[in-house]
Structures are given as structure tokens and as C-alpha cells.
Structure 1
Amino acid sequence: MIRLLPLFLLCLLCSCQEEEEETVEIERCHRDWEEVQKDSVLTILAENGPASYFIYRGRNMGFEYELLHEFCKDMNIRLQVRMVNDLDEMYELLANCEGDIVACNLTITENRKRYVDFSTPHILTHDVLIQRIPADTDTVNQLVTEIEQLYGKTIHVWKNSSFYEQIVLINDKLNLNLTIVPTSGELITEELIRQVSDGEIDYTIADENVAKIDLNYYSNLDISLKLSEDREIAFALRKGSGRLLDTLNFWLNDRSNRSTIGEVKRKYFDRKNLTSKAQQPYSSLVPEGQLSPYDEIIKEEAAKIGWDWRLISAIIYQESKFETWKTSWAGAFGIFQFMPSTASAYGISRNSSADAQIKAGVKKLNKNFQQWLEEIPDSTEAMKFTLATFNTGRAHIDDARALCEKYEKDQNVWDDNVNKMLLNLSKPKYYRDEVVKNGYCRGVETYEYVIEVLQRFEEYKSAFPEPGD
């Protein structure tokens, strides 16, 4: 048995994606816990992977995403995701306050500590060899159980990852005569793992925690050969966001959260029923994957009115999560949650097909949008009013606008104007005002609805990009 520990200590690079040789100093902005609380939103920078973040049937998933989702729930703030694939871009976005936390399965390294602060580690992991389990009839190719058995083999590894640096060190030290094929950064770890499973390549290297997830849906793989010592995985935060770091660390270390954190870990690393979704057709992890079963009809209808199909998808998810059979307590039904009276006006019923329901929903959205454009020429603002109208109806929006006029706010601007007056419609002082014609409104639902739809739209755009994005 060859002793490998000294080799491991030579490798101080990270195990997730790229580690830059030179880092350009970026002018830093300031955004800490106070600003996060004020905005009531925490933005994370995440990569498209099961250990970080992915979308399945329109739903946000991923181990690190769910950990931070639980944190945000406890802090009573919203979690927003910006999906990026280039680690250098993540650093720049973090430094520019376009994200608050990097959630990319990042290994804590001394080099990275120069540029970011790390949270309390949430996982220990190590590098493993990814290889296919030989068939019983295969007497030539045998399972690699010792490093020296890699002699003369070919291994594909991302050129700018620590995996590449480490396998080069091992190859040179042990004279393994390996053929190391460097791959580009566009070929993510999960894709290399798939290629091993499909027999397109023989070997690659991955973090054990990522490989463990992939093992749930690639049953012909072996990940038992350890290639490094254990290393700590954590969230990365911008230097200068000390209160955010302290708040997150307190939550991660709080004994009362151990069961929650443990359950999220078990969900992604120990159970097949959830992690297998990552490679099903409606996953952002699948090349050319679909967002929902209705992408084709949504794209067709969106093109007719000049809308982005991903915005319509975000609305549908908000309404029904793409469940055509869903019925609300108030009697709204179907994929767009039409009330029966409205549905009848658009020629559909509970028995109508999903295609018919989508056509009716898009027709109604466009009608509302065109009506708002007549009063609000700014299409971005008109879109927000359209979403609000779709959720709560025109009458309460008109009341909120009337209040804006009375209290000298801009009735043609949604944020910090009409949406704030809509919130006030739950207070007697406002819903009893003489300018209000339709009484009480629980405005918080519509207030949140507009924010959540537009946020989901941005997440869908990142996960399912189109030419020109």
C-alpha cells in the first residue's frame, strides 16, 4: 500500500470548480446583515448542481439552497437565487454586492481566505475516483481499488480544478504514466460523471459529497477510492459582512437547528427518491432539459403576445405548480387557478385540457397588460400591475392607486408606491377612506405575489437560458 498523505498535504487548492492563480483586486461595496434585513431578501450565488442548486419542475432544490432556505425562513427574510457557472464571476458578483453568499460547494482554502470569509463548515468531504463497476463478464477491466492500479489509464479532469492539480501531483510522484485529459470549465463535474456512467470516458474525479448524490441515479458507478484527506465545505461571504457571517454561523451552530440541518443532509445524500429527480427530464441539470411538461405550448402562446415564456411559466408555478388538478379553498381551479366565473368568460371549465387552460390564461394576462399600457406607458411597470391584477383583481389595485393620489405618491409606479398602499388596505384607516370603493384587502398576498413571480422569472432565466439573454 502506497502512503499518499504527504501528497494530499501538497494540494491546497479547492475541490469545487476553478481556483484562480491571480486574483484581480475588485472595488468592494458594503452590504451586511442590516441591509439584508432592510431589503428582507438574501441573495445567494449558486451553481447548477445537486449539492448547490437546481430547478426541478419549476421548484428550487439543492442541498446548499435548502440549508439557506431554512435559515431565511427562521430569519423571516426571502431567499433569492442567482445561478452562475463561473467561479471568477461569483467572486466579482459577491464583491459588487450582487450576491450575499456563495453557495457552490466551496472548500475552505488558505488562498480563498484572502478574498472571502467562510462560514462554519457544513460538510466534510474528500476527492474520490469516479469509475464504472465492471460487468461480471468483463475479465479485462477490473475495479481500481489502489492508486497504483491507475498506471497507464486515461482520466478526464477539469483543467482549472483542484482535482487536476492533485492528479498531476500524484502522477508525477508515483510515475503512474497517466494520460490526463484536461476538460474545459463548461463541462461541469456532473456531466463528466454522466460520461463515465455512459461509457464515454473511463475515469474522472469529484468531491465525495457530490459523487454520493450522483450515485443515487448512476447505479453502475463506484466512488470508493479516496484521493485526498478530508476537507471542509462552507459558504463564502464577502469580507466586511461580519454581522451576516455571525448571524449565519449562529444559526449553523445552534443546537436547535441540528435536526433541520441533519434532515436536509439525509434528503440529498442518503435518499434516492428526491435526488433522482436531478436527472429527470424536468431538471435544470439535464442538457436541454425542460422546465415543465408544458414548455412547448407555453412558448407558442408567449410568442403570440411577445412575452418571455419563462415569465408565464413563473406565473403558472406560482398559481398551481403546474398541477392541472389543483383546486383552491375558494374554488379556483386548474393550471392558472381561474375562478369559475372568469373561466367561463374565457371558454374553459374544470374539464378543459391543459393546453386550453394555458391559452385562456395567456389571453387574460395579455388583456390585462394591454389595458394597463393604456394608462401606464412604461411596460416594466405595466407588467407589475398586470401581475397584481391577475392575483387580486383590478378593483383593489384601483383603490391603492386612489390612495397614492391622495397621499401624494406615484399611482403609476408599483414599488414603494402602489404596492405600499395595497398593504395599507388591510388597515381600517385606509380601507374606510372615502376614496376606497372596494373595502378591505389583504394586500400582503398580492405584494408578495409580484415579488415572488418576478424573482422566480429571473431564476428561470438563469437556469433555462435563451439566445440573447
Structure 2
Amino acid sequence: MTPWGTSIGEDSIPASSSFGMSDIQNNGELIMLTLSGPESYYDYHGHGMGLQYLLCEKFAEKIGVSLRVEVCKDTTEMVERLKRGEADVIAYQIPKSFRGIRYAGVSDASHKSQWAVQADNQELADSLNQWFKPGMVAKMKKEENFLLSTRSITRHVYSPMLDRSGGVISHYDHLFRRYAPLARWDWRLLAAQCYQESTFDPKARSWAGACGLMQIMPSTADHLGLSRDNLHDPEQNIAAAAKYIRELNTHFQDVPSAERTLFVLASYNGGYFHIRDAMALATKHGQNAHSWAHVREYVLKLGSAPYYNDPVVKHGYMRGYETVDYVDRIRARWAQYRGVAAGGGSGAGFITQPERAQRKYKWHL
């Protein structure tokens, strides 16, 4: 199949032919090539992020088409794929030393590197050049910084403890108790995660579309069978999160139960495939891929080019420090909740394996 959804035998356009602007608009899709990285492209909670991607997304919006991303391993692959007609634009500032392509659109301040299109695609090149203004880069960086900050989340910040003396964590304790057994978690751990996600605000919403107490993404809701109309319903949101946690748990059956909760938390925040990449790096470097103390270091290292470009890494760059901080904060709050939540229990006498394990060795909080 070609990138445009037809077999080569059915396609009347040779593979090397460029799609002009009218072709792209009729097809309804702009295909960009790029590299994984913080300045180019990465997956962030189910959404594309990275300066070059965001700029290309703006261009796609301007011409009224959707954007498809194809991640390459290096600039040579990008150039060769562009020449073969597998994409419309290289949305990455490559050095102006490659022949057989046309440079256009976003460039660096020195104009020594720039985006590129196929050599014969003058129409697309002209459109990119007319669209791009140097001030767009600084403006987009500012917008990206906002999206990555807590300021982009609409929520009311509630206290992490409703009634410390009475051992009441939140208004939703009865729901945490009800659905924690579905996740096979201590209900206070579910409460600690909920506070990290939404500060107990059922109306919380992120710029990416995550909703409710447990910040469920619409696509995840679809996968779990939760109606999007009910994303802000406290009970249904918590129930869906517990179901999702149970599902993530099945992906880490190779991890000892005493450690598994931490891998699940990390996956809930940073994505299962990124955590598997970190585990692969840990194995490659002689560390224990089933110990969070070892794997967390490689989650952090996935923010560094030598690591996210390593051949064992399949899903590229991630903001690993956010995920590590997420896990650390929830662990610390969970410890606090276990220390003060009177009359706790899960409602079924359930104690997680990690809580049992904590009686045997000291956790590093």
C-alpha cells in the first residue's frame, strides 16, 4: 500500500511524483517526515508535541488538511523517503547540503538549515514560504511551554486531605473503596493517584482533552466503553480508571507483583511503550529491567538523544522526568494516606502486594 491508501498497481501517480497543493487538499492529508526529539516530535499523553511538529500542524490547519507523522531514524532516511514520494514535507530543519530536494518553509536564524519538499513541488514550496514568518518560532515555543505547564489544565485545586483527624481523604473515598479491588490496589493508592491527576476536581480538563477525576482521555474512554458524555461523572470516571489500571497490570505480568504497581503508574502517565523502552535500555546496560529503582533511571535517560536514539528504543523521546516525578509524588502521598487514613481498608480487606512488600524492606520515598 502507498501512503495514500491505494496499492501501487491502482495508483495512477508514479511513486516519485510529488503531490501538489491541490492534490494534498483533495486527499485531505499532509504527510510529514521528522525525527524523534524534544524539538521535533514526540508523543505526549496521546498527542503530538515538539516545535517542528506543532508548526507543521499549524500549516496543515491553514490549508485545511489533517497531518500524518512518519518518524525516521536519521536525516538520510528522511531525504530518501521524500525523494521516493512517501511524504510531502520534511518538517525538520536539515542542513542545506542535500541535493535533489527543494528547501522551503521553516528555517533556522542563519538560514543554513530548513524544511524541505520534493524538488519538483514548487507549489508546496511556495505555499510554505508564503506561510512561514520567522516570528512564528518564538510564538510557537511560548505556546508549547504553556501546553506543557499546569496552567494549561483547567481545575479547582482542593486540599489533599478533607479531614485529617477523621481520616477522610476526599468526597470520593467511597468510590475509591468500591473500585480499588477492580484494579487490585489499595483504595488509598487510587486516591493518591486521583489527587495527582485532578486535585479531586471532577470537572478538571487538560488542553489535550483528558477529563475528570482520573483525567481519562476521550480515546481511552472509547477503548474502555465509557461514554464521552459521562467523562466528568465521578463514579464512571473512577470505574474506568480502575479498569484501565487492571488492563495495564496485565501488560506487566513479567514484573514481580511487589514492583508492578510502580510500572503501572508510570505507564498510566507516560505510556506503556515508553516504559518498555526504558526496560529494554536497562537490560542492555546490565541493570534489572524488573526493578523500578533501575528502570526509573532509564525513563529519565529517554530525554537524552543518545538513549532515545538507541536501536533498542522503539518509541523515541519522552519527557521522562515528568513520569518519574509523577510516580514519586503518588508514592509519597500514598504513604501519607496510609499513615493518617483511619478505618481504611479497601472495603474487602484487600492489601496490595507492594504494601505487603513494604513490611519486608524500606522503600525509597
| TM-score calculated relative to the size of structure 2 | 0.48
Bigger-Rg structure (1/2) = 1
| TM-score calculated relative to the size of structure 1 | 0.38
